[in-house]
Each structure stands twice: as structure tokens, then as C-alpha cells.
Structure 1
Amino acid sequence: MWREKKVNLIDQIPVLKEKLQVIDEGKASFLVIERKNPIEKIAIRFFKQPAFRKINLDVEGAFILKRLDGIKNVAELEVDFNEAFGNDDGMSLARLVRFLQIVDSYGWLKWKNKPQN
């Protein structure tokens, strides 16, 4: 019987998709997303809408998204997060995973497998 191999999310490497970037403007951080579907292109052209969407990020969200370098897996991101913000309640991994799931639900992430040694 054929079974699909289960993948451990902790070992996966999240990467922001191309043409997405995190920028800082003063004390605020934003995820910048190009508006490219046909309806948005009409709005850009005829209604003078901006060509990019700027999603306001909190400090923790910006911290995580800036570290999606294609090298660090979720476990390593959690270590970085704990060093910067602490883990007093023991829930940092759960919050990190939930944040990544939300970002992924918008189609903004790619996932790579951790290389086997």
C-alpha cells in the first residue's frame, strides 16, 4: 500500500516568494506585494491605484519575515525569535507556526525541504 511520507513542519525551510519584500519606513515595517491580477491592473491604470500593496507588520512579524533566507528552518527561526523576544509562556513555537500558516494561506511562501546529511 502506497503511503505519502509525512513532512515535519519544524524541518521545513520557509521562503518568501519572488517579488515580495519586507521594507522599513521609519519605525514601521511593511510587506510589499505587487498587484498583478487583471482587476487590480485595471484599478491601477484607470483609478490611479498604487501598483503595490503594503501590509503593515508588527515587530515580531517583521523580525520573522526578514529571516526567511532559504537556509533557516522553522526550528532555527524559533531559536532566533526566542533570543530576541523570549519565551516566557512556552508558546513561541506555536505562535511562529501559526504566523507562518497565515502567511502561507495568502500564497506568499514557498517551502523547501531541509537537506539530508
Structure 2
Amino acid sequence: MFNKKKERNLLELVPLLANHVELQMKDGGKGVLIVQRANWAERFSIRFLKQPAFRTIQMDEYGTYALSQMKDDATVTDLANAMSAHFGEDAEPVLPRLTKFIQILESQEWLIWKDE
């Protein structure tokens, strides 16, 4: 008999920034993601083509707030509730926006999910 892992939906998962990604706050409350360039092609370009070792990605106020709220136990639902409380109606539709943002972060491998 197979051991079935309990299926969880996205709203119950806990997103965290990957180890090679850091959020730095700038003046005005907006943040910048600092992403270490670590795969072999990037290391090659850093060494031989004198490319920078880090990429910087400017975040808007919503992305900055969502990333700053990614704590050890904050689920996607917690993040959505915090964004609604902080931004009010300006954040709506908060859940579709947040899930798309999380999908983008995950596709770039800038986000990990906390282990159960």
C-alpha cells in the first residue's frame, strides 16, 4: 500500500524566499530583490564576461509588502489577509494578484515552500 501525502491547497502553504534571494528596503517603502546569480552559465558570465554577481529587481509597494510578510509560519491566506488589512480596497482583487505573484516567484526559483 502506498503512503499518500496529505494534499494541501495553495492557501495553506507557507512561502519563503529562497536562500539566494534577499529583500532590501529602499527609501519610500519600496523594496529591491537582490538575487545571487549562481547557476553555471551565470557564474561563467560573471567570471569571463565581467557581469555582476547579483541581479536587482525593483518591487512595487504590493510586492514589497507581500515579501516582507513572508515569515516562518505565514500561509498564503495569512499574506492575503495582511495585504487586505494594510492596503484596503486598493489591493483588490488581492488573492488572484498574490497567487500570480507567487507563481512568478516560484517559476524564477526565488521562492521555496516551508517543509511540513
TM category (shorter chain) comes to 0.7 to 0.9
Residue 108 (structure 2) aligns with: 106
Conserved in 1, the CA contact under 8 Å of 2:37 and 2:55?
yes
Give the letter for the 1:80 counterpart: A
Higher strand fraction (1 or 2) = 1
Deviation at residue 4 of structure 1 after TM alignment:
6.2
Deviation at residue 47 of structure 1 after TM alignment:
2.3
Gaps of 5+ in 1: none
Residue 92 (structure 1) aligns with: 94
Deviation at residue 97 of structure 1 after TM alignment:
1.2
CA pair 54-93 structure 1, distance change in 2 beyond 3 A? same
Conserved in 1, the CA contact under 8 Å of 2:37 and 2:53?
yes
Deviation at residue 113 of structure 1 after TM alignment:
5.8
Residue 8 (structure 1) aligns with: 9
Give the letter for the 1:6 counterpart: E
Identity %: 34
Conserved in 2, the CA contact under 8 Å of 1:12 and 1:113?
no
Q: 1:61 aligns with which of 38, 60, 63?
A: 63
Deviation string for 1:47-67 (max 9, x for gaps)? 221110011111100110111
Gaps of 5+ in 2: none
RMSD over aligned Cα atoms: 2.2
Q: TM-score, normalised by structure 2?
A: 0.83
Conserved in 1, the CA contact under 8 Å of 2:84 and 2:91?
no
Give the letter for the 2:55 counterpart: R
Give the letter for the 1:41 counterpart: R
